[in-house]
């Protein structure tokens, strides 16, 4: 018998079953043959929150959470952050290899030519209240692009998919900038195709009356690095939503909007905004020990700490910490950094955090940089959504072209009533 098997004995029936093991997994469907009798549905696994379930095979991103390692398509994140531009990395994530010079030139030019938004999108944006959250505006506007591009429904056509991918990557910064300007009451700025991806985004965010926006190169590069770090992160909550909604063959705009909605949650991409709120609440370095104590007592989580997969320092947080120093040379030091550093120092020495392997994650320092660059905390998750769009779309393509995938449809363990008699309305007692 091959070593790569698992033998299970069902103590209910005393029967043994041998299941193949491949890539450290057994196939959940192989358990279905384990039955107590012909009427039995067969054994299932119960795995709330997918704690131990691989839902796909992927070739995009590799994480070793115990060692704090992150690779995109086989390249360490540190190398990509040092040598590449975000669009180069987006190409890598989407197509599997780094582009040649000509490929990159064409790719950048194609993305740049999809940055304009249809004028109806502007009108749509104008309908939002002045205080609408930029992330809610982004999610809604991305979904609304589905009305502008009904051709996107042809998801089986690879050329059509590619066109929508270019549109989404090109338009995401334009929508993000529009939502930012809307919340400030400033007029929208059109894209400037002479600028690179990050510079053009800054142009659409910050340009006022100057005829041509010139981005500070250090800040533009820092933003580009942050985009690289956020481009993909394998099967996280929003990637799983992207695959799940996409598996029903919804168009890529609605699917991306669904993924972005997942990202907006404070336990996912919304954490960077929460980190800033937490640091404001702490107020000063002296208050850090008391805050950490409260967190250990279960009153509040340390936002920006802990991760489902990383049980070591998040490699992205290390790069962000270094990038922060370069940004602060331009903007001046953000005083919140002192509180963050103290929080990290105290937490990393504390038994509670050591035992649970809670380390700073990507969101811990990103907000501090974003704030130094002039962003309001409400914009932080939007800044995460822009680059993650490349990752979502790569996950979406991989799912659609994987012959093993079907519409995502988990099973449940039914824990409700057995069949019971129907009561006419006058005979029912109040349930609450």
Catalogue the active-site residues.
268, 307, 363
Query: In this structure, are residues 142 and 256 in contact, taking their beta carbons and an 8 Å threshold?
Result: yes
Nearer to ligand COA, 65 or 76 (CB): 65
Nearer to ligand COA, 182 or 321 (CB): 321
CA–CA distance, 122 with 118 (Å, rounded to integer): 7
Q: How far is the CB of 269 from ligand COA (least distance, A)?
A: 8
Query: In this structure, are residues 49 and 229 in contact, taking their beta carbons and an 8 Å threshold?
Result: no
Specify the DSSP class assigned to residue 428: P
Q: How far is the CB of 372 from ligand COA (least distance, A)?
A: 20
CA–CA distance, 359 with 356 (Å, rounded to integer): 9
Strand order in the sheet with 61-64: 61-64, 69-72, 75-76
Query: In this structure, are residues 118 and 124 in contact, taking their beta carbons and an 8 Å threshold?
Result: no
CA–CA distance, 50 with 48 (Å, rounded to integer): 5
CA–CA distance, 319 with 393 (Å, rounded to integer): 24
Query: In this structure, are residues 198 and 224 in contact, taking their beta carbons and an 8 Å threshold?
Result: yes
| Three-state DSSP class for residue 291 | helix
CA–CA distance, 317 with 368 (Å, rounded to integer): 12
Nearer to ligand COA, 88 or 363 (CB): 363
CB atoms within 10 A of CB 345: 12
Q: How far is the CB of 63 from ligand COA (least distance, A)?
A: 12
Interacting residues toward ligand COA by CB under 6 A: 267, 271, 295, 301-308, 356, 358, 361-363
Nearer to ligand COA, 32 or 356 (CB): 356
How is residue 66 written in tokens?
Answer: 């115990």
Q: How far is the CB of 265 from ligand COA (least distance, A)?
A: 9
Nearest to 228 by CA among 110, 97, 85, 360: 85
Q: How far is the CB of 101 from ligand COA (least distance, A)?
A: 35
Longest pairwise C-alpha distance within the chain: 80
Nearer to ligand COA, 178 or 229 (CB): 229
- The pair phi, psi for residue 369, each rounded to 5°, is -65, -50
How is residue 228 written in tokens?
Answer: 């690289």
CA–CA distance, 364 with 279 (Å, rounded to integer): 10
Query: What is the number of the residue whose Cβ is closest to ligand COA?
Result: 306
Nearer to ligand COA, 63 or 393 (CB): 63
Q: Show Cβ contacts of residue 36 under 8 Å, excluding neighbours closer than 6 positions.
A: 10, 12, 13
Which residues, in sequence order, are bridge partners of residue 6?
A: 19
Specify burial of residue 380 (Cβ count, 10 A radius: 0-12, 13-18, 19+): buried
- Please compute, for residue 347, the number of CA atoms within 13 A of its CA located in the half-sphere on the CB side: 27
Nearer to ligand COA, 5 or 53 (CB): 53
Nearer to ligand COA, 112 or 323 (CB): 323
Q: How far is the CB of 321 from ligand COA (least distance, A)?
A: 15
Specify the DSSP class assigned to residue 29: G
Q: How far is the CB of 395 from ligand COA (least distance, A)?
A: 17
Q: How far is the CB of 351 from ligand COA (least distance, A)?
A: 12
Query: In this structure, are residues 150 and 254 in contact, taking their beta carbons and an 8 Å threshold?
Result: no
């Amino acid at each position: 018998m091959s070593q790569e098997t698992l033998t299970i004995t069902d103590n209910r029936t005393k029967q043994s079953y041998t299941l193949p093991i491949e890539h450290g997994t057994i196939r959940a469907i192989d358990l279905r043959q384990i039955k107590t009798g012909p009427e039995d549905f067969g054994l299932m696994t119960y795995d709330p929150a997918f704690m131990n379930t691989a839902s796909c095979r992927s070739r995009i991103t590799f994480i070793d959470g115990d060692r704090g390692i992150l690779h995109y398509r086989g390249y360490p994140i540190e190398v990509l952050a040092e040598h590449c531009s975000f669009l180069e990395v987006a190409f890598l994530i989407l197509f599997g290899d780094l582009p040649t010079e000509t490929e990159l030139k064409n790719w950048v030019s194609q993305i740049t030519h999809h940055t304009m938004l249809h004028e109806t999108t502007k009108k749509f944006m104008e309908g939002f209240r002045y205080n609408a959250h930029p992330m809610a505006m982004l999610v809604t506007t991305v979904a609304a692009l589905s009305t502008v591009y009904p051709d996107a429904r042809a998801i089986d056509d690879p050329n059509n998919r590619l066109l929508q991918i270019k549109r989404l990557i090109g338009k995401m910064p334009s929508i993000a900038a529009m939502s930012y300007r809307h919340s400030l009451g400033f007029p929208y700025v059109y894209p400037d195709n002479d600028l690179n991806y990050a510079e053009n985004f800054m142009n659409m965010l910050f340009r006022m009356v100057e005829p041509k926006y010139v981005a500070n190169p250090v800040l533009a590069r820092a933003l580009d690095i942050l985009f690289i770090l956020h481009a993909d992160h394998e099967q996280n909550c929003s990637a799983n939503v992207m695959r799940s909604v996409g598996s029903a063959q919804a168009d890529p705009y609605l699917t991306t909007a669904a993924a972005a909605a997942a990202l907006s949650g404070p336990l996912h991409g919304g954490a960077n905004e929460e980190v800033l709120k937490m640091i404001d609440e702490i107020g000063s370095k002296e208050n850090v020990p008391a805050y950490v104590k409260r967190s250990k007592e279960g009153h509040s989580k340390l936002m920006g700490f802990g991760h489902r997969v990383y049980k070591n320092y998040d490699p992205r947080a290390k790069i962000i910490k270094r990038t922060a120093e370069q940004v602060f040379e331009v903007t001046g030091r953000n005083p919140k950094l002192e509180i963050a550093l103290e929080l990290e120092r105290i937490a990393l020495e504390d038994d509670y955090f050591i035992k649970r392997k809670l380390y700073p994650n990507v969101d811990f320092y990103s907000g501090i940089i974003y704030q130094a660059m002039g962003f309001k905390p409400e914009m932080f998750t939007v800044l995460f959504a822009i680059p993650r769009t490349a990752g979502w779309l790569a996950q979406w393509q991989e799912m659609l072209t994987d012959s093993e995938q079907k519409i995502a449809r988990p099973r449940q363990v039914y824990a409700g009533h057995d069949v019971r008699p129907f009561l006419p309305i006058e005979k029912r007692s109040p349930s609450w």
